[in-house]
Amino acid sequence: MAAYDKADLERRMAGAVEALKHDLNGLRTGRASTALLDPVTVEVYGSHMPLVQVATVSVPEPRMLSVQVWDKSNVGPVEKAIRSAGLGLNPINDGQTLRLPIPDLTEDRRKELAKLAGKYAEGARIAVRNVRRDGMDALKTDEKKGVISEDERKRHETEVQKLTDATVAELDAAAAAKEKEILGK
């Protein structure tokens, strides 16, 4: 059986694009949004969990987020995770509820968010390159096993590279659009 599966590579690369778009939606440009806390993971019960699995996130006011932690013993780890997420949010502890005032977007904050968007995009590019590497390795394995010829391998490698280039271009476009939105240009 052939190890190379073009459909699987396409699915995995599309997943990287979707993950980037999801991460970029978490970067705010003005109003408070629960999506802002989507990238936050909390270390509780001996493992890393998404914030939404240990607390309820709501938007009581346009410039305020509220995080209602379900287990009182997890308030400290949740507060620490929010502070260390690099989102520029400073939680105010109110018992089992953390209030997150959304600061105004200063020029420095905008640049910081644009850098974070670039960091997310680079992570997605790395994921796509890893998928490409997996595809190339599968093609070489298939050639060694005699499943495909050298010409077929080269043709498929060209297809994988074209798919990779198209996916990276899509990632770059999404990141550039978000940076433009953040910087207000």
| Identity of the residue numbered 172 | D
* Residues 53 and 120 reside in one and the same domain: no
| Phi, psi (deg, nearest 5) at residue 140 | -65, -40
Domain boundary among 101, 123, 152: 101
The residues of the chain scoring below 70 in pLDDT are: 1-2, 28-31, 185
* Residues 75 and 117 reside in one and the same domain: no
Query: How many domains are there within the chain?
Result: 2
The predicted structure's pLDDT at residue 31:
67
Question: Does this model's pTM top 0.75?
Answer: no
* Residues 54 and 67 reside in one and the same domain: yes
* Residues 45 and 82 reside in one and the same domain: yes
* Residues 136 and 158 reside in one and the same domain: yes
Domain boundary among 78, 101, 124: 101
* Residues 13 and 79 reside in one and the same domain: no
pLDDT digits (tens, 9 = 90+) for 64-78: 889 999 988 888 888
User: Strands 92-94 and 97-101: what pairing?
Assistant: antiparallel
DSSP letters, 31-65, are: S--GGGGTT-EEEETTEEEEGGGTEEEEEEETTEE
What is the domain range of residue 121? 6-27+106-183
